[in-house]
Chains A and B, each alone.
Chain A
């Protein structure tokens, strides 16, 4: 009987919690949003690390939920039951000083709960952190900068920024992605909630994380460790591609910059100003490393680390005065004349 009651309590709690989780998801879903706007809900995992974290989280939520209900009931009961009543004035209740048995009970039971939760947690820690790197895994070096992301694929010879492309990992043909995390300046943290927990990028302290997305699509995230003035607009997009799409993307990124004679004027402006000191356009003399690689700028859907869509107007505004989009960004306003500005924007728009 008591087992039955207990298991039904657990069920009710599990239902309550899933209801809570579900309602937060729905709360997110009912917000006005663009058609393809993906979420950042930690309870909507799409990758093994995020999934095992979410499962552990539900387990911990159920246990803490039970503790809450028990202790809250005791508290509420004693507040209601033992309140002073009208006839009590001047009369003191029985003076009780303690009880060893009761103290032992509420010491030992919590210790047992801690042991259980610790063991469950330690399993997940080990499974995620000590996972061996598979043959054929994609390797990416992510480097945090104030206030953007650099992604380098050492095996594939690709350098890109802010938008990470990785292949979907199919169960029968797993292709997880392993990230090495570095920082060029201050601390940052890589957080795409639906793919994995966050890991910091710390100078002189290389870190590692991995993910194996189970479905294609764009996953959002952003820098989670305060890194300076524009920490808020250091956004992350991870595009999880079908194997064919990923291969095509890799091929397109491996090439040098497209030479477009129509944009020669803009190229000249770019290379005769400070632009080239910070930005690389592969195949040209521009080989700066301080800012994002622009070789295939037009293959990205956003600029300024996700702060604006990659449109003609935004690009122009960004080059003219970055602080209009991202005050505190380290890119200076180049003070270009209107013709020069148009020429550079045109040049940028040829970098597919």
Chain B
């Protein structure tokens, strides 16, 4: 075990000219630094995507509002969606995976450190390409710059006939380039987990975080490749005279939808599975119990991965598939609820009989459980395809997937920030600001996204820049907008907490949460190459064994 691990003298904390420091960050191949780079760039784009969301919300605050033109509005929701999925959610989760996976499996770095750096910079270049479109692109007829075809860019809207200029090209290239980055990272995560586990760490002893990231990485390989293929086909259509999706020349709009959603639905799980991973680490520690049903949790995750590969066309219930196809995708979509439900039950089972400490990471985790439950149930509603014929493309769907992405993924991420920030920086985040952040964000979130379901039920479609008065949508949209601003304030509190605590936070020490996985056995922040002596483990909770030699886990596993 690593109890006697020597902390390598930390050369990196010595004052260095800032140019050298910057050079070090740009050229680094260290998984921890790359993880932090991923996270910082994602936070930058979170702020940008958040401002885009606020512009959308101000415009929709009342009927016939004229805060922005339809062209700008269409650009905003396209950029908001693309940014948040590809340049916030994915990179930030890759960042945590990069940072945590080697530490938790007792490895000194990722399997391919240079591929790791290459992948990050590809993904960052993708983001820059997307935002360069504001300067270098020109959109739909009369629409100026930046892509405005929606984040699915449904054919034939992305064809040159309907999207002249270059905004859609920047969108395509951006997703293509960052997609290669994602594939590189996925290969890296898989190789690291399969090959670099420390002695004693069998697959069945890996922390769930490693297991779930392994599954996530496998899904990235399967999901991103069709997206990249589709982007290449779109480029061929636009520049080499191809007709894959060019309906005016006999191409198929529905083909694009299949390509997009066979990426798009697994993508949801690519995003949520690492969040399940955070929950599976945080909930046990703050309940003071091991995860309930470890093998079942692994099995359920693998099951979700398989089933979620066969649900994509539930995004296409209104496209006019025949009744058998609609029935099939109804069944698979409902079925994916079973393993997901099992996971929720197991987290509750973990809390059951525990001694729950309501530190900020745990507050966000409980918020996650509550909101993810509701998101799952509204998902079941839309799995019933006839119900979806009404709800699809309405604000109900917008509310549903924000419930998943904000109520689920973002809450889990905030939990992860409060939990691992001490490891990354050596300082605790302020609990006081953390509680402000949590409660403000919770209130803002529910004000926005609970209420947002109702305009959908009342017939309000998504992606409209304005709406007619007298439909019963005004008051609801006004409340939604207020909630969005409350969330924005909460995010500011969070960012302030990150900055202030970096300088003034309490010293964290190696193991501030009295936790059980390997990353807490070494100093905070961990030294270069992590482990001076590679640890040997005998159970899933090596630090529990260390702290309770009279009653180690290894006796029961």
Residues of A within 8 A of B (CB): 24, 27-29, 31-34, 37, 39-43, 50, 52-53, 56-57, 60-61, 64, 67-68, 71-72, 74-75, 78-79, 82-85, 88, 91-99, 102-103, 106-107, 110-111, 114, 117-118, 120-122, 124-126, 128-130, 181, 185-187, 189, 191, 193, 196-200, 202-205, 207-208, 220-233, 235, 327-328, 330
Contact = CB atoms under 8 A, between A and B. Distances in A.
Interface in B45-90: 69-71, 74
A225 to B, nearest CB: 6
Given A32-B469, A42-B458, A110-B337, 8 more contacts: A41-B472, A53-B389, A75-B351, A121-B330, A121-B386, A122-B327, A125-B323, A228-B162
Contact of B358 (A83, A181, A232): A83
B237 to A, nearest CB: 14
A94 B287 CA distance: 11
Most buried by A among B253, B383, B459: B459
Given A224-B394, A226-B463, A231-B464, A78 B351 contact: yes
A98 B296 contact: yes
10 nearest A-B pairs in the assembled complex, by CB-CB distance: A197-B389, A40-B459, A28-B472, A232-B464, A207-B320, A203-B247, A33-B470, A98-B293, A64-B377, A129-B323
A93 B289 contact: yes
A13 to B, nearest CB: 13
Interface stretch (B220-228, B367-375, B488-496): B367-375
B334 interface: yes
Nearest to B74: A229
Contacts of B356: 78-79, 82-84
A223 B461 contact: yes
Contact of B331 (A50, A79, A85, A118): A118
Given A97-B294, A98-B296, A235-B468, A125 B70 contact: no
A79 to B, nearest CB: 6
Interface string B462-506: 111111111110111000000000000000000000000000000
B387 A106 contact: no
Contacts of A126: 323, 327
B386 A52 contact: yes
B439 interface: no
A124 B475 CA distance: 34
B195 interface: no
B380 A117 contact: yes
A130 B326 CA distance: 12
13 contacts: A41-B459, A42-B458, A64-B380, A68-B373, A68-B377, A91-B355, A97-B293, A110-B342, A122-B330, A187-B156, A199-B318, A204-B252, A228-B140
Contacts of A226: 74, 150, 154, 157, 462-463
Contacts of A208: 320
Contact of B472 (A31, A85, A181, A327): A31
B354 interface: yes
Given A93-B289, A103-B296, A124 B386 contact: yes
Contacts of A124: 384, 386
Contacts of B354: 78, 82, 93
B390 A53 contact: yes
B320 A107 contact: no
A193 B71 contact: no
Contact of A42 (B287, B459, B465, B556): B459
Given A28-B458, A94-B353, A229 B143 contact: yes
A129 B385 CA distance: 11
Given A28-B458, A97-B290, A106-B345, A129 B380 contact: no
A82 B553 CA distance: 22
A114 B379 CA distance: 13
A96 B350 CA distance: 8
Given A98-B296, A125-B323, A125-B330, A189 B318 contact: yes
A67 B156 CA distance: 41
B381 A205 contact: no
B454 A187 contact: no
Interface string B451-462: 000100111111
Contacts of A227: 157
Given A64-B380, A71-B344, A98 B294 contact: yes
A330 B374 CA distance: 42
B357 A84 contact: yes
Most buried by A among B252, B342, B386, B463: B386
B348 interface: yes
Contacts of B293: 97-99, 102-103
B459 A191 contact: yes
A117 B334 contact: yes
Contacts of B121: none
Contacts of A85: 355
A95 B516 CA distance: 13
B303 to A, nearest CB: 10
B373 A57 contact: no
A95 B289 contact: yes
B366 interface: yes
Contact of A78 (B348, B357, B471): B348
Given A68-B377, A97-B290, A106-B341, A232 B386 contact: no
B366 A79 contact: yes
B9 interface: no
Contacts of B369: 75
B355 A93 contact: yes
A332 to B, nearest CB: 11
